[in-house]
Structure 1
């Protein structure tokens, strides 16, 4: 598989323990659930924190410097816990005692999930410093496709077919205002502390349109038609037009394909203990194929 970035292990815990910001007795506990970074809960005399290790991932277009900027903006906007340290491939956030969502939780709390994304889109952009990054899923998919071909990935022969679909899905998009989006709407990035909802992990935070975040809620959390209507009506505060529905369903297919190809790229470059990137890619490729088939049935090729 040729993995170049092995994640987690005793060396990672040692790096966390060696950070100069801790005070007093120290407890470090590995956290489970990440698919591309190693994380630890750290408790010292000042409180509890989450330390997450992970360098720049150019193969995923991930810059930790940009992520830190987005994380600080998210804290200022009241969306995420405070970032207290960033540097040398380590980010440290304040720990929040909260429950991580599963897909069923996102569906059951869809209104709140849409609302926090709407706050993200309204509040984040004005707080971003430095050169603004952009997230356009169709460019990302084309870049991923080239990477699969250059590395002779086992599914590289399918890339031309997928890229033809990408072109058609992009053509279905509508002009929308540019906002700062999260772009990684997996259920585990929503956390509920019993009083409020939090939105965490800003690796893919960048400027774009709202449609990718909205479509990703549906694509990554198995929404039915009624749930999708709730997403659009809650966000736009109006009855969706036919053109908006088409753009949404096209972006939903693009979102599922991006998640699938993300898994394929991860096969080449990452090695997280307990994470099966082949199975991850297969699951989301199945989602993409189902969503795209329904899109073609409804709107034509």
Structure 2
């Protein structure tokens, strides 16, 4: 894969050194730094390595939306896009990827919330993202290919329909969203937080973005409340808090299928089954809890 780096225009005639970047479950990410006397370059090359079709990834939209995120002041600059090589070249962001525990720091939480606000107020993205539609597509793929699934997955179809109906009544306009903001996709330089990885980006309800982070980063109840308040810049209503919690459920139930599809198809040495099961277990706990009815009521109060 590194042999293709010489085919990039940004590295033409340059000497460089490449090193692997950790993380990335559908890409192989490289940090590339020039080593000659020319203007120094510090780049990230995202090399696609997974079946984008089954996962619903649109690489052209990823490229465009990464550019829009940079224009919003929260994303890395796009330097080159080579779909023929499966490569997207962006600037390296100085800072460190967050970990779940970092969000216990109110300052970090606040910087991350500001980054989300900036993204959502920025240029509209290419395409839309709707977890209900994506869940239907993923479920159809699982059925078509006979991929393994927890035996109780479909037991929650009626409750899922209730969640869809209630969230559909929010009337909130769609905004440009990353839709996959786990901790490692927040890069903190100490002054501001940047957002990376726009594979699943699209215009969406911004409360999905908030809910997705709360579950991916294992927020406790107090953190969820503080997160929504930091994002809104004011005290959230009961409806706001309930909707974000329901969107977390949407993230868990929908993205769990992503894990089961990856378990059956990905060449990457990673326990995708456990990844999907963890999210499904969270979703199932909520589906089976009396609290779900309370959230559905409060979401429209």
TM-score range, shorter chain: 0.7 to 0.9
The alpha-carbon deviation at position 300 of structure 1 amounts to: 7.2
Task: Give CA-to-partner distance per residue, 1:215-249, whole Å, 9 cap, x none.
Answer: 11211111112111112222334443333333222
> Contact 1:37–1:272 (CA<8 Å) still a contact in 2?
no
Distance 1:270 1:100 in 2: 24
Listed as ranges, the gaps of 5+ residues in structure 2 are: none
Query: Quick check: 1:256–1:285 contact (8 Å CA) kept in 2?
Result: yes
Task: Kindly state the Cα deviation for residue 162 of structure 1 after the two structures are TM-superposed.
Answer: 4.0
TM-score, structure 1 normalization: 0.87
Aligned pair count?
Answer: 284
Aligned partners of 1:293 and 1:157: how far apart in 2? 15
The offset of 1:157, in angstroms, is 4.7
| Structure 1 unaligned blocks of 5 or more | 1-11
Greater relative contact order (Cα < 8 A, sep 6+): 1
| Selected match of 2:23 from 26, 30, 33 | 33
Moved over 4 A (4+): none
Counterparts of 1:128-277 in structure 2, within 5 Å, are 128=125, 132-155=126-149, 157-173=151-167, 174-273=170-269, 275-277=270-272
**SS, match of residue 172 in structure 1:** helix
Query: 1:84-131: per-residue Cα shift (whole Å, max 9, x none)?
Result: 111221011111232111111134222211111011111132xx4xxx
Mapped to 2, the partners of 1:243 and 1:298 lie a distance apart of: 11
Matches within 5 A, 1:12-51: 12-22=1-11, 23-44=13-34, 45=36, 46-51=40-45
2:60 is the counterpart of 1:102: no
Q: For 2:116, what is the secondary structure of its paired residue? A: helix
- Report deviation, 1:161: 2.2
Alpha-carbon contact 2:166-2:296 (below 8 Å) kept: no
Alpha-carbon distance in 1 for matches of 2:190, 2:136: 41
TM-score (norm 2): 0.87
